[in-house]
Amino acid sequence: MKTKKIRNRLFLSLLSLFMLSFSACIDEDNLERDKGSVPLAMTVNSKEIVLDNNTPVSDALRFEWTSGTNQGTDAGIEYTFEMDLEEGNFDEGVKLALGRNERILVYKHEALNQLLLDEFSVSPNDEVILKARVIADVLDESVDKQISEVVSFSVKTYTPVTKNLYLIGGAAPNGWSADEATKMNTVSGSVGGFTWNGRLNKGELKFITTLGQFTPSYNKGIDDTKLYYRESDEDEYDEKFTIEEAGNYEIKLNVLTGVISIRKTTGPEYDELWIVGSSTGESGWEFEPMNVDADNPYIFSYNARLSGEFKIATEPDFDDNIPYYRPTTQGVGAGVNLDVVKLSGQENADDYKWSVDDANYKIKLDIQDLKIDILEFIAYPMIYLVGEATPNGWSIDDASPMEITENEFIFTWSGYLKEGEFKFTCDKQSDWNGDWFTATADKTEPTGVIQSMVYTTGGSGKDYKWNIAESGDYTIELDQFNETVIIKKK
């Protein structure tokens, strides 16, 4: 196993690219004081880490260390973190200058997996032994540098899920051109999920992961509902899906589960939309893709902090010939069930746009009914579980509260769930006409990974619930802004 030489400038990019979440342990207002005589020591959260494709942004590896001592000099202490392969000597590997007061370092699953594959040349699905230490450098020449004892641990990697997927073949819109293959949409809240709606020709079809390259590809598996991963041209199996009749189709697939559905539909006019306005992107007026609803391809959503004007593009281009979804008049603000028109710049010289105050918004556009909801979203102070599966059953007054995290939008819960149904109430409204987070389909069973939810207000919407088929201890993590939940049996 070969380790690549990491230059100092790479360490700085890793710090932002892989988002190591740092939490500072700060001595109140005085950053330079007597640190006592506690020896420098590091701990790691686990000696055996198995990285999980299904939880890319969850914590995988967590280091903590004591302050060390400045020998009563009142001098500041700067910390450097080092990590290397078991057989290394810390000359190569990761070296992070953390500065003062940083005494916690966290790697997320996806970030650590990518680091091991790219920088340490670890193969996917391999286990590697790593070691780490921290160095405390007291900013006083009379005090020697302190080095913690080395901690060792194992990490097992995984094969990363492709971030992009493209249609290619005689049935695809752009034929067999690998350079111009048709991009699919990712499914929000579903790792490895992709969807596409549009017109297919009669002919063959498969999926590639990289523009300009015919492999890796996802081909037809044992039947029309299964995928087969073809890694290279050396694999002679190259079966394609067959489209018997030209028309509009909906394709849903998941490269993790290997399941695919190709269904002939009347189909929406667009399978991609972009929101653009004064606060989209880093500097404004950058095209941001909207999410396609997994169950209704006519519904597009976008959750973000916005301020000022915006409109919705059918192509990421400002050409006057391109249609945009707009309000019926200039400057319409937030609201529910607002009317929408689709007009190009040539058809709408006044360039109608919506206009909102600075806030977090949930936007949902229905291109079939030409309606839009623009809702300012303020985090609920508490979310509750209610239902026969929960500790207090269907008593909404006694609904089980979750626990809020440092992120105001994310709540967690841990406890025993019985067999049966449940959902989440945001306000415990006694007439049951309050605000809810429900499942996307009736009797949805938890998968243990990220699943989408449906946010409804005023008791509207379908009353879909989660169904616990097997009683036991469960953990739940709910993100009320992004409308996702992980319900996992311990």
Catalogue all structural domains in the chain, each as residue range(s) with its CATH number.
Answer: 8-156 (2.60.40.10), 166-265 (2.60.40), 274-376 (2.60.40.3620), 384-489 (2.60.40.3620)
Residue 296 is predicted with a pLDDT of 81
Distance of alpha carbon 342 from alpha carbon 319, whole angstroms: 15
Output phi, psi for 114, to 5 deg: -65, -40
Contacts of 34 (CB under 8 A, 6+ apart): 70, 72, 74
Other Cβ atoms closer than 10 A to 449: 19
Distance of alpha carbon 231 from alpha carbon 218, whole angstroms: 9
222 secondary structure, DSSP code: S
Residue 53 is predicted with a pLDDT of 86
Strand segments (E) across 345-419: 354-366, 371-376, 384-386, 400-401, 403-404, 410-417
Maximum pairwise Cα distance, the chain: 82
Asked if the peptide bond before residue 446 counts as cis, ω within 30 degrees of 0, the response is no
Q: Minimal CA–CA distance to 85: which of 1, 156, 160?
A: 1
Q: Cα angle at 425 between 423 and 431, to 5 degrees?
A: 110
Contacts of 289 (CB under 8 A, 6+ apart): 185, 272, 273, 274
Residue 487: strand pairing partners: 476
Q: Minimal CA–CA distance to 19: which of 52, 61, 51, 47?
A: 61
Residue 145 is predicted with a pLDDT of 92
Residue 325 near residue 340 (C-beta atoms within 8 A): yes
Q: Minimal CA–CA distance to 33: which of 134, 105, 133, 140?
A: 140
116 secondary structure, DSSP code: H
Residue 104: strand pairing partners: 64
Using DSSP, state whether 440 is helix, strand or coil: coil
Please give the radius of gyration of the chain, using alpha carbons only, rounded to the nearest integer: 26
pTM across the whole model: 0.44
Instruction: Say if strands 48-50 and 151-156 run parallel, antiparallel, or are unpaired.
Output: parallel
- Identify the segments of the chain with pLDDT beneath 50: 1-31
Distance of alpha carbon 358 from alpha carbon 284, whole angstroms: 14
Output phi, psi for 13, to 5 deg: -70, -35
Question: Alpha carbon of 88 to those of 105, 124, 133, 312, 443: distances in Å?
Answer: 21, 20, 12, 53, 52
Distance of alpha carbon 98 from alpha carbon 15, whole angstroms: 10
